[in-house]
Structure 1
Amino acid sequence: MSLSVYLSGEIHTDWRDVIEKGARAAGLDVDFSAPVTDHDASDDCGVAILGAEETGFWKDHKGAKLNAIRTRTLIEQADVVVVRFGEKYKQWNAAFDAGYAAALGTPLVVLHAPEHTHALKEVDGAALAVAETPEQVVDILCYVLTGKLPG
């Protein structure tokens, strides 16, 4: 069995790399996808492709819609969606991605520190698993694909 896994959320740490390297090391057949993680490219894609805007609202509007084409397509194609909520910023887009995956019925794994449990209780409630570390996500993927427990 193989899985297509979409890695959504926080872009300021290496959590995606940890999961991808862990899956490779475990020999898992997983195809990973993600949003554009270059913050400037993500913010500027609309005006870079479709032309300048006079106000920040319309600049953000264009960029959000172009990013939504990628995000929605990849979430719809995914077998599993992993959404990471980080420490530095409120990731409203990550919460939206989690809700979109849940609405589609796509299995959802949420990843966040224990201190965010209360704030994310509704998101956690929609998830099939809530992990605290990227390594736990690798263990989840390993179990799903092989039926084997860690260790």
Structure 2
Amino acid sequence: MEFTVYLAGEIHSSWREDLKEEAKKLDLPLSFVGPMENHERSDHIGEEILGEQPDKILRDDAASAVNNLRTELLMKKSDLVIALFGEKYKQWNTAMDAGTALALNKPLILIRPEELHHPLKELSNKANVTCTSIEQATKILSYIFETE
């Protein structure tokens, strides 16, 4: 049995590749999907498809419409969502994606550093599991496939 995992979170670091590599080392039957990782493309996809917009707000709205469609479709097709809250970047998209996963009743693993315990306590309480590292999340994934 293979599961599809939606990887929600910031797109500026290599955390997705790190998690995929850990899963590969453990030979886990997983496929991964997630947001557009090319930030420039993500920001401009609305105008690329729908045409030039008259101002920055409408440009952002057009891009958001296309990106939200992508997120909703890929998340609905996923079996599980992993949302990473890093230490460096603002995490609005991660919070939105984690909330969407909960609204869709998708199992959710939340990765967050201990320093973010307090601001994420309610979200953490709703997640199926909260951990502090990619390695822990990968071990959780591995446990799903254990038989004894």
TM-score tier after normalising by the smaller chain length: over 0.9
Q: Which runs of 5+ in 1 are unaligned?
A: none
Runs of 4+ in 1 over 4 A off after TM superposition: none
1:71 is matched with which residue? Answer: 71
The match for 1:104 is 104
Residues 15 and 44 of structure 1, relative CA distance in 2, 3 Å threshold: same
Residue pair 1:2, 1:145 contacting (<8 A) in 2 also: no
Whole-Å separation in 2 of the counterparts to 1:109 and 1:122: 14
Which shows bigger deviation, 84-93 or 62-71?
84-93
State the shift of 1:88 in Å. 2.2
**How many residue pairs align between the two structures?**
148
State the identity %: 39
Give the counterpart letter for 1:65 in structure 2.
A
Structure 1 residues 84, 109: CA separation in 2 closer, same or farther (over 3 Å shift)? same
Structure 1 position 89, deviation (Å): 2.3
Which consecutive unaligned segments of at least 5 residues does structure 2 have?
A: none
AA aligned to 1:66 is: V
Provide the C-alpha distance between the structure 2 equivalents of 1:136 and 1:24, rounded to a whole number of angstroms: 15
Q: TM-score normalized by structure 2?
A: 0.95
Question: What whole-Å deviation, never above 9, does each CA across 1:53-76 have from its counterpart, x for those lacking one?
Answer: 121110000000100111001111
Computed over aligned residues only, the root mean square deviation of the Cα atoms, in angstroms, reads: 1.2
Relative to the length of structure 1, the TM-score reads: 0.93
2:10·2:93 contact (CA, 8 Å) conserved in 1?
no
Q: Could you report, residue by residue, the CA deviation over 1:86-125 in whole angstroms, capped at 9, with x for unpaired residues? A: 2222221111111111111110001111101111112111
